[in-house]
Structure 1
Amino acid sequence: MVPPNTSLLKYDNPILVSRNTEKKATKVSGATVTGNGSPAGPVPSPPKTSKLPPVEAQKNQQTEEILNSILPPKEWQDNGQLWTQQVSSTPATRLDVVNLQEQLDQKLQQRQARETGICPVRRELYSQSFDELIRQVTINCAERGLLLLRVRDEIRMTIAAYQTLYESSVAFGMRKALQAEQGKADMENKISELESEKRDSERQVNELKAKCEAIEKREAERRMVEEKRHTEEIQFLKRTNQQLKAQLEGIIAPTRK
């Protein structure tokens, strides 16, 4: 069974290229027919009875070649049969453009494409619409179509470059995030070690403060004892001095008389 065309790009009817069977196949009016006369694929529209002038026929052939080079035909296999489908070379009308716009809006809504931001679905549909516009323009003017092809390829290259840059930046960010996580763990370990050292230092400071307070208290008590002893000695010496002075005056006083 030939798969339906789900692309916005307009294609001709599929053509059977080859088949794996012993029955001989013949092509009648562009459609492949089996030995019993039944068609093996969709039958395209019959050719026109009027022959085209040589110049116009050559122009149409060149247009088809340019279309096939810009928009390559699709190929697929179905039950051992090779099918091909080329883009349509039928000139587009204003109604085709209006239908293309309606189909684009309909597919954007059906496939739930996002209106803003990065959306692969919206990008795919707009790319198909742009290819269809290139096809329509190429049929009327091949040079204009080739110029649009350059524009399309440049846009795709730019998007691919931005995508590569985005992927590189994401990978770089992931590496930096992993390095930051690893550095965070190292810093947490270092902080734990420093906090442990801080607690040890505070404990040593408290012990030294306690020792200093004990020493100061002991020295204050010793100083008080020494001052008390010195005071007592001074008082004792003063009393002794007064006693000796009184004795000396008592000895000297009779001699004066």
Structure 2
Amino acid sequence: MIRPAESLLKYDNAVLVTRSTEKKSVKARSLKVSPQPPPITSPVPPPPKPKCLEADANKQQMEEILNVILPPREWMEGSQMWVQKVSSTPSTRMDVVHLQEQLDLKLQQRQARETGICPIRRELYSQCFDELIRQVTINCAERGLLLLRVRDEILMTIAAYQTLYESSVAFGMRKALLSEQGKFEIEKKKVKLFHVTYQLKL
């Protein structure tokens, strides 16, 4: 698999995935077991969770949501497998301005058409929309999931229009072939009638 091309969607650094083939030794160290204290019968409230643990849990949950919305990309280089997840770093106003500049630059570099159907322009705008979804999801997961629904609906609509366009082109081609065939049949009848009238005149 080829390394994926550069994207407007912001990714973290690629990570090399390795499989550990080391076998654990059969012998295990003996552990000393200390006697346990007697259980406390009076109810004890659980200790409050530290704020850092709550922040880590929220960050992990947000990263899981990001990985569901925008799956990590994987590729092989030789016998090594690389994985690259989307970035979970919050974006600033300057990041958005930079994203707009990068979009305009890539549209110009790849010579995307300004009007009409253009797969290059569609690809770049799709990457830009994914990056906006990433930025919104980091601040509010619910907004990100709603934008994901909007994106999927847009893709479904575009796919429906593409299917309709392809079927209409195929229908037009069939009609053109039928008309050509009908024209050929009319030409044959015309030649036949010409011969008949010529023989009648004789």
Partner of 1:13 in structure 2?
13
Look up the equivalent residue of 1:13 and give its one-letter code: N
> Matched residue of 1:83: which SS?
strand
Q: Using the TM superposition, give the Cα deviation of residue 3 of structure 1 relative to its aligned residue in structure 2, in angstroms.
A: 4.4
Provide the C-alpha distance between the structure 2 equivalents of 1:4 and 1:191, rounded to a whole number of angstroms.
62
2:84 partner amino acid: Q
Amino acid at match of 1:59: N
Q: For the Cα contact (< 8 Å) 1:9–1:128, is it kept in 2?
A: yes
Cα contact 1:18–1:83 (8 A) shared by 2? no
Shift of 1:176: 1.2
Q: Which has the higher contact order (CA 8 A, sep 6+)?
A: 2
Q: CA deviation at 1:165?
A: 0.7
**SS of equivalent to 2:90:** coil
Q: Deviations over 1:41-94 (max 9, x none)?
A: xxxxxxxxxx96122211111110110000000001111001100000000100
Corresponding letter in the other structure for 1:145: G
Aligned to 1:212: none
Please list every run of 5 or more consecutive structure 1 residues that lacks an aligned counterpart in the other structure.
24-50, 205-257
| Letter of the 2:64 counterpart | E
Counterpart of 2:131, as a letter, is E
1:190-205 mapped onto 2 (5 Å cutoff): 190-201=189-200, 203=201
State whether residues 74 and 86 of structure 1, in contact with CA within 8 Å, keep that contact through their aligned partners in structure 2. yes
Residue matched to 2:105 = 106
Please tell me the root mean square deviation across aligned C-alpha atoms, in Å. Answer: 2.1
Measure the CA separation in 2 of the matches of 1:159 and 1:195.
54
Alignment of 1:1-257 (within 5 A): 3=3, 6-18=6-18, 53-201=52-200, 203=201
Question: 2-side partners of 1:170 and 1:4: how far apart?
Answer: 33
Measure the CA separation in 2 of the matches of 1:119 and 1:4.
Answer: 21
One-letter amino acid of the counterpart of residue 196, structure 1: H
Q: Distance in 2 between matches of 1:120 and 1:4?
A: 18
Superposition deviation, residue 193 in structure 1: 1.4
Q: Secondary structure at the match of 1:72?
A: coil
Residue identity over aligned pairs, in percent, reads: 68
1:138 touches 1:145 (CA, 8 Å); kept in 2? yes
Give the length in aligned residue pairs.
174
State whether residues 137 and 145 of structure 2, in contact with CA within 8 Å, keep that contact through their aligned partners in structure 1: yes
Instruction: Report the alpha carbon displacement of residue 159 of structure 1 after superposing the two structures with TM.
Output: 0.2
The answer as to whether partners of 2:4 and 2:75 remain within 8 angstroms in 1 is: no
Aligned with 1:53: secondary structure? helix
Q: What is the distance in 2 between the residues matched to 1:19 and 1:65?
A: 22
Contact 2:16 2:80 in 1 (8 A): yes
How far off is 1:98 after superposition? 0.4
In the alignment, the residues of structure 2 paired with residue 5 and residue 141 of structure 1 have an alpha-carbon distance, to the nearest angstrom, of 28
SS in 2 for 1:75: strand
| Aligned residue identity for 1:67 | L
TM-score (structure 1 length as normaliser) = 0.64
Superposition deviation, residue 173 in structure 1: 1.1
- What's the TM-score, normalizing by structure 2? 0.80
Distance 1:169 1:107, change over 3 A: same
Counterpart Cα distance in 1 of 2:116 and 2:5: 28
Supply the distance in 1 between the matched residues of 2:107 and 2:115 (Cα, whole angstroms).
12
Distance 1:103 1:92 in 2: 15
